[in-house]
Amino acid sequence: MMQKRRGLLHAAGALLLAGLLKPMAALAAWNKAAFSSKTSAEALKSLGTPSAEASGGILIEAPQIAENGAVVPIEVTSNIPGTTSIVVLVEKNPYPLVAKFEFSEGALPFVKINAKMGETSDVRVIAAAGGKHYQATKEIKVTIGGCGG
């Protein structure tokens, strides 16, 4: 029996290496429902955070106006004590949910990302702390640079 099982493991390993089997994709959590939501309300419902209280403890540093929507730098800091996660959404994107980060012991609730924005829109950030949810928004204008050539 051992012999057979080891043979099977080797085969699976080989398939894995050949990239035919999806290795960890199925295992790692990725909230497909939330990331496929077409509105931020729907995305937040799928994330289990239907409502969030406005809070000045969330700082969003981002340019007021972006020369191009392909790369919009967004830096988020949560000063709310006990923050365990930060969610970033761009309201007017086809799929508003951009990213979700969970922070455990050893990490500060801070992240800087480059996001894509289809057009001028509000960026909404949700922070979870002590079982409650808080939010802040900031509008970023997106323009067309260059000669359009």
Question: Which spans of this chain sit near other proteins (rule: CB under 8 A)?
Answer: 19, 22-25, 28-31, 35, 61-68, 70-73, 75, 90, 93-95, 97-108, 110-116, 143-149
Nearest distance from residue 68's CB to other proteins, in Å?
Answer: 4
Shortest spacing between CB 44 and other proteins, in angstroms: 14
- In the complex with other proteins, the residue whose CB is nearer, 2 or 108, is 108
Least distance in angstroms from the C-beta of 56 to other proteins: 20
State which residue, 46 or 132, has the beta carbon closest to other proteins: 46
Q: Which long-range contacts (CB under 8 A, 24 or more apart) does 35-44 make?
A: 35/95, 35/97, 36/95, 37/95, 37/96, 37/97, 38/94, 38/95, 38/96, 39/96, 40/89, 40/91, 40/96, 40/97, 40/124, 43/89, 43/95, 43/96, 43/97, 44/87, 44/89, 44/126
Nearer to other proteins, 41 or 110 (CB): 110
Least separation, in Å, of the C-beta of 17 and other proteins? Answer: 12
Answer yes or no: are the C-beta atoms of 30 and 97 closer than 8 Å: no
